[in-house]
Amino acid sequence: MSDRPSGSGSERAPQPGAPVIALPRSGRSEAPDFPAARHVQDHWNALRGARLCPERAEIDPKPLAHCLDVMFIAELVAPSVARLRLTGQQLSDLLGMDPRGMPLSVFLTAEARDELGGALEQVAKGARAVLPLRSDTGLRQPALDGVLVLLPLTDTKGQITRILGVLETRGPAGRAPRRFRLTAPVQTARDTGPALVTGKVTPPQRPAAVAPGRPLARPAAPPRFRVIQGGKA
């Protein structure tokens, strides 16, 4: 289902330096364990350039073809609530049903949902979030490690209303449904470009020059997302 801009918002100067919420795996790099998550983050970074984040209509599935099974598009329906609109096959396998239309929190344990809500509030302001996950052993359910990546996207008016996400796991999923807990305390960092520098600091504050709901600069002639079927993206 393709997204077509329904109008254009006013433009303003792009804002670099999106804050990052990082919940790193203890001393372990994401790259070897979760290559799709790393590739999607790199692609998102390349699209946004000097802006806070790219536009939803810029997301083209072609360069992400090998990652589509673990990707999703979610809509921010409240500051701490994201509803799944487009989802890859792995998300259906983990839940045991089509998760489209459900809140993203359906994949997390009750104890982890408040922390997810706090991360979504920051993503709605332009932050990025990386959450390390683990689903514990159960009946016909092997222990399962994963990572949840949340990347903000703007609509045609320049407002952050969508999330480009990745839910990637390592190992057999076992019997569905699988639900995950977080495996590390929240850490925050600020982006200085394609490379991320992380460190434990206070929760990120929105940059003063970026007011919620204010439009961001739009790229010229963005490509369209046409491959994934179903749902309101």
Domain ranges of the chain: 19-199
Cα gap 56→44, rounded to integer Å: 11
Give the Cβ contact number of residue 184 at 10 Å. Answer: 14
Least reliable range by pLDDT among 7-11, 59-63, 92-96, 118-122: 7-11
Which CATH number describes the domain made up of 19-199?
3.30.450.20
Q: What is the pLDDT of residue 199?
A: 30
Q: What is the pLDDT of residue 18?
A: 53
Cα radius of gyration (the chain):
17
What are the tens digits of pLDDT across the range 174-195?
Answer: 999 999 999 985 544 445 444 3
What are the tens digits of pLDDT across the range 34-56?
Answer: 999 999 999 999 999 999 999 99
Q: What is the pLDDT of residue 233?
A: 65
Give 33's pLDDT tier (boundaries 50, 70, 90): confident
Q: What is the pLDDT of residue 221?
A: 45
